[in-house]
Amino acid sequence: MSRASIELATQLRERAVADGTAYALIESLTTEVGPRLPGSEADARAVAWAKARFEALGYDKVWTEPVTFPKWERRSERAAVVGAHAQPLVITALGGSPAGDVTAELVRFDSIAALEAADPAALRGKLAFVDVPMARSRDGSGYGAAGPVRSRGPSIAARKGAAGYLMRSIGTSPHRVANTGITRFDADVTPIPSAALSLPDADQLTRLLQRGPVQVHLALDVGWNGEYTSQNVIAELTGREAPEEIVLIGGHLDSWDLGTGAVDDASGVGISMAAGHLIAQLPQRPRRTVRVVAFANEEQGLLGARAYADAHGGADVIARHIIGAESDFGAGRIYGFNTSAPADQRATSDAIAEALRPLGIDYLQDQGSPGPDISPLAAKGGAWGWLGQDGSDYFDLHHNADDTLDKVDPDAVAQNTAAYAVFAWLAAESEGGFGSAPKAAP
């Protein structure tokens, strides 16, 4: 890495930590577009917003690429305990749930293993209630552990004949907000209405069950409804020497519908858009191309990222995707950096780590993973960078109504922007790489 490149990285870092562009973008997207459920009317407004913003921010090229997917709608949802302890419950349907109106007795499970072990005779016609708490942690590892409650639980319950599925939200908020998120039903089961309870409501049901049988009425008017074509919105700063080599950063433009998608993931979009914008203001373009992608429909299965990898993931193209990094873990400060580069190709990673250190970012060479929308490229052999955000509070907000602008700290956003700008600039300036090489198809 040249001395001049490092000096410009320092300038970039110092300018970025004092720059409000990313926060202003987050404010604009969450305020003007609001929630951005894939396929909703707001999806198209978000695409138009991203295109216009990229164009205004000094990128050399801006374009869109289509992403087609089935559309899921949430029209109404409610639930209540019925009978002697009648009372309403705060719930939200899981994405992918079918509609349904069920009144049935609860059968509680404190783990997915317990649900799997259940006798179908005990579940038939009942509402499965899976009540697994999620642990709070900086790296969000509790999310992975609780994940199967949402991803696999509904299918397991459906296969055993349950009439519906209720789960404790995968989240850490003690407030009366329920966390949605996608679930997929196995092909061999008939989907059943499936919803998540706020944590206080899950606790309430557990207390009621200690007193005797509990009947719940669950009424969901939600479901798949046709197809929709959204767009990945893509912008580039064209590399001055090796324009065909690409350093990719980004976030996802869609969100769930309950909040305004501020930490998930207007923040990632704003941070990566602003990082490119700051690089665009340097006296010269980086050696390689810096590409910023606002991915479509991450939430329902990385559909924009898969479309991108299909379009740009040929063996030749993977080698030219030098590295990719996505900001999709909220708006907390970045505490750690790493890349997937193998041991004999760490020079550029080492230089980036050095330039990130003044931001309070440690070089954590045994940690990290590709962001969700980078993972389809990574599966094909693309290298990834990890700029690890403090996610201690992320699951207070993730996929629930509390994911709103007031939860975003402008100073943390500026630190993130500085990190992404330094990372993208140095990765694009470097002559070295990170080991991107096409993998044989698995």
Which residue in the set 77, 265, 373, 390 belongs to the binding site for Zn ion (CB under 5 A)?
Answer: 265
Smallest distance, Zn ion to C-beta of residue 363, A: 25
> Is there binding between residue 81 and its own copies (CB under 8 A)?
yes
164-168 and 127-130: which strand pairing?
A: parallel
- Total residues interacting with its own copies, rule: CB under 8 A: 38
Quickly tell me which residue has 């990128």 as its tokens.
Answer: 59
Stretch that binds Zn ion, among 117-125, 148-156, 202-210, 256-264 (CB under 5 A): 256-264
Task: Choose from its own copies, Zn ion, none: what does 119 bind? Cβ within 5-8 Å by kind.
Answer: none
Q: Among residues 84 and 113, whose Cβ is nearest to its own copies?
A: 84
> Is there binding between residue 393 and Zn ion (CB under 5 A)?
no
Which residue in the set 211, 283, 344, 441 belongs to the binding site for its own copies (CB under 8 A)?
Answer: 211
> Is there binding between residue 264 and Zn ion (CB under 5 A)?
yes
Stretch that binds Zn ion, among 188-196, 221-229, 264-272, 399-407 (CB under 5 A): 264-272
d(CA 332, CA 397): 12
Task: Quote the tokens at residue 91.
Answer: 């719930």
d(CA 35, CA 48): 15
> Is there binding between residue 175 and its own copies (CB under 8 A)?
yes
> Is there binding between residue 410 and its own copies (CB under 8 A)?
no
User: DSSP string spanning 17-28?
Assistant: HT--HHHHHHHH
Angstrom distances, CA of residue 70 to CA of 177, 185, 294, 326, 353? 26, 14, 19, 24, 41
d(CA 304, CA 19): 29
> Is there binding between residue 208 and its own copies (CB under 8 A)?
yes
> Is there binding between residue 261 and its own copies (CB under 8 A)?
no
d(CA 50, CA 47): 5
Query: CA 385, 390, 392 angle in degrees (round to 5)?
Result: 140
> Is there binding between residue 326 and Zn ion (CB under 5 A)?
no
Smallest distance, its own copies to C-beta of residue 345, A: 46
Task: Choose from Zn ion, its own copies, none: what does 264 bind? Cβ within 5-8 Å by kind.
Answer: Zn ion
Q: Among residues 182 and 419, whose Cβ is nearest to Zn ion?
A: 182
The neighbouring-strand residues paired with 237 are: 290
> Is there binding between residue 401 and its own copies (CB under 8 A)?
yes
Strands (E), 281-326: 288-295, 321-326
> Is there binding between residue 404 and its own copies (CB under 8 A)?
yes
Stretch that binds Zn ion, among 51-59, 196-204, 320-328, 358-366 (CB under 5 A): 320-328
Smallest distance, Zn ion to C-beta of residue 264, A: 4
- If we measure between CA atoms, which residue out of 23, 46, 28, 27 comes closest to residue 36? 46
Strands (E), 379-436: 385-389
Residue 165: which H helix or E strand, with range? Answer: strand 164-168
> Is there binding between residue 27 and its own copies (CB under 8 A)?
yes
Task: Choose from Zn ion, its own copies, none: what does 61 bind? Cβ within 5-8 Å by kind.
Answer: none
Task: Quote the tokens at residue 25.
Answer: 């973008």
Query: Please, is 7 exposed, middle or buried when counting C-beta atoms within 10 Å of its C-beta (0-12, 13-18, 19+)?
Result: exposed
Task: Quote the tokens at residue 100.
Answer: 């349904």
Stretch that binds its own copies, among 80-88, 98-106, 227-235, 268-276 (CB under 8 A): 80-88
> Is there binding between residue 266 and its own copies (CB under 8 A)?
no
> Is there binding between residue 87 and its own copies (CB under 8 A)?
yes
> Is there binding between residue 7 and its own copies (CB under 8 A)?
no
d(CA 423, CA 420): 5
- Total residues interacting with Zn ion, rule: CB under 5 A: 3
d(CA 144, CA 16): 32
8 Å CB contact between 303 and 296: yes
Binding site for its own copies (CB under 8 A): 27, 31-35, 41-42, 45, 81, 84-88, 90, 173-177, 199-200, 203-204, 207-208, 211, 257, 259-260, 400-402, 404-407
Binding region for Zn ion (CB under 5 A): 264-265, 328
